[in-house]
């Protein structure tokens, strides 16, 4: 139970047991039905669907064929891999770290994690708002790099008196890239291959999520869990550096059926529609 990585379960299981989790799982189903019926598709996708299709094109071949799209696709694979390595590595090992190395009992640890993950929610909301003010790339890079800096700081300088504050700040930071991830990636690819490119890059990057728990476990045996968590800062740094240097924002407007190359500034011609 102490190694349970699922955040909601960590908060509910010790007090209420497992049955309430099944009732809570109904909420995403209701939200999915609401989104399907009430949220419109982007105009660019609707226009693309209206166009006659004489032959079925292979989206993967289209990604590979275009050098610019292929390059951006590869950059997003690396970025997604490092981001998910860091994010899921923290989610898996932070509860164990609080119990085994900081000495918190399980119920007290759950309270700390609830605060951390609540801050994460607000951090994502703030990231989305800031992205409209200063740009997706800036927010993504700042989120990744600030998490990379703060994670080892948390491990090395925590005390019983400041651990709550440090965990809250950390929760606010480490989910920031996810607050703009979907929008940033979607605007990196043209309409006709957007779903394939975004889904492909992100889910290939799940390799990072898969190996993170094992990797940190191996490191913790040789050093400590805290040292392993600090290493995750390297992954977050790379997740921030790659888009900061190589991935422009707003290269394609999802509300326009536009398949041409992005403008030199990396912005669409109808920026007012970019979400």
pLDDT digits (tens, 9 = 90+) for 129-155: 999 999 999 999 999 999 999 988 888
State how far the Cα of 248 lies from the Cα of 259, in Å rounded to an integer: 17
The pLDDT-based confidence of 248 (bands split at 50, 70, 90) is: very high
239 burial level (CB within 10 Å; 0-12, 13-18, 19+)? buried
Does the predicted model carry a pTM greater than 0.85? no
- Mean pLDDT, rounded, for 77-82: 96
b vs e for 147-162, b when ≥16 Cβ sit within 10 Å of the residue's Cβ? bbebbbebbeebeeee
pLDDT of residue 261: 46
DSSP state at residue 205? T
Residue position matching structure tokens 């912005």:
267
Q: Is pLDDT of 211 > 50?
A: yes
115 burial level (CB within 10 Å; 0-12, 13-18, 19+)? middle
pLDDT > 90 in the chain, percent = 39
180 burial level (CB within 10 Å; 0-12, 13-18, 19+)? buried
Residue 64 half-sphere exposure toward CB, CA atoms < 13 A: 5
Q: Is pLDDT of 24 > 50?
A: yes
pLDDT of residue 187: 93
pLDDT of residue 72: 97
Q: Which domains does the chain possess?
A: 40-49+57-273 (1.20.1250.20)
- Mean pLDDT, rounded, for 14-21: 68
């Amino acid at each position: 139970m102490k190694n349970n990585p699922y955040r909601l379960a960590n908060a509910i299981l010790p007090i209420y047991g497992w049955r309430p989790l099944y009732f809570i799982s109904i909420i995403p189903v209701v939200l999915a039905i609401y989104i399907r019926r009430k949220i419109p598709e982007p105009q660019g996708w609707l226009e693309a669907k209206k166009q006659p299709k004489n032959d079925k094109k292979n989206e993967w071949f289209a990604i590979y064929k275009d050098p610019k799209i292929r390059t951006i696709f590869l950059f997003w694979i690396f970025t997604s891999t490092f981001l998910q390595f860091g994010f899921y590595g923290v989610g898996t090992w932070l509860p164990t770290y609080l119990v085994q190395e900081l000495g918190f009992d399980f119920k007290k640890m759950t309270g700390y994690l609830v605060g951390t993950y609540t801050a994460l929610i607000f951090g994502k909301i703030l990231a989305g708002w800031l992205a409209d003010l200063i740009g997706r790339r800036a927010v993504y890079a700042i989120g990744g790099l600030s998490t990379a800096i703060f994670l080892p700081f948390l491990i090395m300088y925590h005390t019983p008196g400041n651990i709550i504050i440090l965990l809250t700040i950390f929760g606010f930071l480490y989910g920031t890239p996810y607050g703009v991830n979907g929008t940033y990636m979607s605007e990196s690819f043209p309409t006709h291959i957007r779903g394939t490119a975004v889904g492909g890059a992100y889910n290939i990057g799940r390799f990072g999520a898969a190996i993170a728990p094992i990797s940190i476990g191996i490191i913790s045996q040789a050093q400590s869990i805290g040292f392993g968590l600090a290493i995750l800062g390297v992954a977050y740094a790379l997740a921030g550096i790659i888009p900061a240097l190589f991935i422009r924002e707003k290269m394609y407007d999802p509300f326009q059926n536009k398949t041409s190359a992005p403008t030199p500034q990396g912005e669409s011609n109808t920026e007012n529609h970019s979400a």
